[in-house]
């Protein structure tokens, strides 16, 4: 048996047999829940209240052990295996993302703050939530004081700004969050980018008191620090938030919001899996493996900043340097494709 790393929305270390012929890992049935969150029962593969029927149970098993790739495929969660690195990444249930995009149900998540304390979306049920994604590799990291000022203005009784850094290292974020009282979380496995189909930062999502999405993914800024570069100003969006909190006004009807954000493509999902493997390889100090997965991820999702730009620091490249600027210009020339409503016009 070999200790392998299985990455979903968290990182699990499980004992497994490396099956090079099938390009998979085999685990004892008792370890399946720890590995991927699913349990094999007579009724099928089950997790919480959900069970997926399995027509051919034998297809999941090899010599009494369970094939992790086959299990993931049976519950329609794509996976990427790195046999030599003894690790694999498994996609999150696509149904959660489709519910968010089509039904406007905010997918639940639990993420750590910069000191390791866990926070769940459900913690803020009963309040309007402004979910703000940013990153240490984006100039939007300097917008946090602006979001804090909005929170201070509108108060905490009915409203909360939740800032989430799409970063794997809290220390990269900490200095930008100094002095803030708004929740600042970080997302080492890029869970939000998969659950909410986020492809750039800053992306802001409005979530109401019942945890339904009332305004889906949109580019928005907390200050005008980089308005000359981005062409976007903060004021119009901030005014819309004020109207939402104070008067209940929503700038987009539910019928228009539902389906307004395109789902991730198969390649974009796979890119996120390769990125997770790159992050784990980086944590292990394997530079060559890190670069390989970053390169694959970037090819699969060439317009996704949360993949290619986020990968630059992992391979020693400057996410604010000339290589970024050249690629940014190429992205702009394509029409700035993103899973987003765009920004609010002045």
The whole model's pTM is what? 0.96
Quote the CA–CA distance of 88 and 198 in Å, as a whole number: 22
Segment 170-201, tens digit of pLDDT? 999 999 999 999 999 999 999 999 999 999 99
Looking at domain 95-254, which CATH architecture does it have?
Answer: 3-Layer(aba) Sandwich (3.40)
Q: Please report which confidence band the pLDDT of residue 327 belongs to, taking 50, 70 and 90 as the band edges.
A: very high
Segment 35-57, tens digit of pLDDT? 999 999 998 999 988 899 998 99
346, pLDDT greater than 70: no
Place of tokens 């497994």: 16
Segment 200-227, tens digit of pLDDT? 999 999 999 999 999 999 999 999 999 9
pLDDT for the residue numbered 99: 95
Helix, strand or coil, per DSSP, at residue 40: strand
CB atoms within 10 A of CB 110: 14
Segment 280-323, tens digit of pLDDT? 999 999 999 999 999 999 999 999 999 999 999 999 999 999 99
Helix, strand or coil, per DSSP, at residue 309: helix
95, pLDDT greater than 60: yes
345, pLDDT greater than 60: no
CB 210 within 8 A of CB 121: no
146, pLDDT greater than 60: yes
Query: Which of 103-107, 112-116, 230-234, 293-297 is least confident?
Result: 230-234
Annotated domain spans of the chain: 2-90, 95-254, 266-333
Which residues share a beta bridge with 223?
none
């Amino acid at each position: 048996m070999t200790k392998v790393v299985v990455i979903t929305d968290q990182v699990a270390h499980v004992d497994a047999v490396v099956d090079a012929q099938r390009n998979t890992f085999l685990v004892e049935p008792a370890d399946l829940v720890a590995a991927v969150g699913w349990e094999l029962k007579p009724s099928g593969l089950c997790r919480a209240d959900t069970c997926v029927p399995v027509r051919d149970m034998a297809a999941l098993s090899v010599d009494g052990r369970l094939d992790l790739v086959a299990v993931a495929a049976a519950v329609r969660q794509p996976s990427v295996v790195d046999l030599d690195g003894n690790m694999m990444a498994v996609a999150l249930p696509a149904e959660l993302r489709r519910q968010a995009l089509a039904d406007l149900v905010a997918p639940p998540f639990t993420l750590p703050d910069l000191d390791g304390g866990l926070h769940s979306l459900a913690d803020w049920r009963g309040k309007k939530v402004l979910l703000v994604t940013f990153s240490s590799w984006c100039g939007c990291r300097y917008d946090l004081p602006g979001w804090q000022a909005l929170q201070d203005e509108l108060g905490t009784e009915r409203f909360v700004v939740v800032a989430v850094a799409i970063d794997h290292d809290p220390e990269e974020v900490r200095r930008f969050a100094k002095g803030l009282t708004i929740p600042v979380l970080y997302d080492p496995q890029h869970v939000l980018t998969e659950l909410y189909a986020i492809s750039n930062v800053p992306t802001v999502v409005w979530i109401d008191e019942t945890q339904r999405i009332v305004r889906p993914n949109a580019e928005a800024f907390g200050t005008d620090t980089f308005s000359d570069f981005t062409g976007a100003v903060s004021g119009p969006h901030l005014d819309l938030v004020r109207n939402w909190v104070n008067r209940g006004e929503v700038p987009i009807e539910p019928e228009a919001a539902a389906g307004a954000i395109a789902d991730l493509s198969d390649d974009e999902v796979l890119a996120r899996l390769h990125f997770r493997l790159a992050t784990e390889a980086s944590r292990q100090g394997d530079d060559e493996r890190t670069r390989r997965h970053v390169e694959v991820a970037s090819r699969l999702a060439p317009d996704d900043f949360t993949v290619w730009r986020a990968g630059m620091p992992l391979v020693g490249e400057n996410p604010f340097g000339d290589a970024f600027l050249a690629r940014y210009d190429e992205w702009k020339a394509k029409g700035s494709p993103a899973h987003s409503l765009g920004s609010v016009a002045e």
